[in-house]
Amino acid sequence: MTTTSLPPIITRYFTAAADGDLDALVDCFGEDAEVTDEDRTWHGRAEIRRWRETVATAYEYTLDVLGAEPGGEGDGVERYDVRTHLEGNFPGGTVDLRYRFGLRDGRIAELRIP
C-alpha cells in the first residue's frame, strides 16, 4: 500500500497537519476519538485540539509518509499503520514513527503514536 491509496481521512489528517490547519485537523476525528502520544491519551475533539496546540507543535519538523499497511479490523474499527520519517529541531533531529490509525464511520476514532 502506498500513500496514494491511504483512506481519504488519513490523507486529510496529514494535509491539515502540514498546512497548520487546526480546524481541519480536528474535524478528521470523531466526537469520541482519542489520541495517544508521548504516553498520554487525549479524549474527544476538545482535548485533541489541546494536544495539537501544545504537545504536537512543541517542535518544528517536516514529516514524510513512507508507506502504510492495513492493520485489520475489529470492534467496528478499521486499522492502518502508517510509517513516517520526521526531521526537525527536537532532540536527535530525526526519527521514524509508526502512526496507528483506527477509523470508524469515515473519521479517525483512534490515533496512537508510540
pLDDT in tens, 50-78: 999 987 677 888 999 999 999 889 989 99
Beta bridge partners of 77: 74
Domains of the chain: 3-113 (3.10.450.50)
36 vs 48: CA distance, rounded Å:
10
**Are the CB atoms for 101 and 10 separated by under 8 Å?**
yes
Record the cell numbers describing residue 82, joined without a space.
502508517
1 pLDDT tier (thresholds 50, 70, 90): very low
Answer whether residue 110 shows pLDDT above 80.
yes
Name the average pLDDT for the chain. Answer: 92
pTM of the model: 0.89
Which pLDDT score, from 0 to 100, does residue 2 have? 44
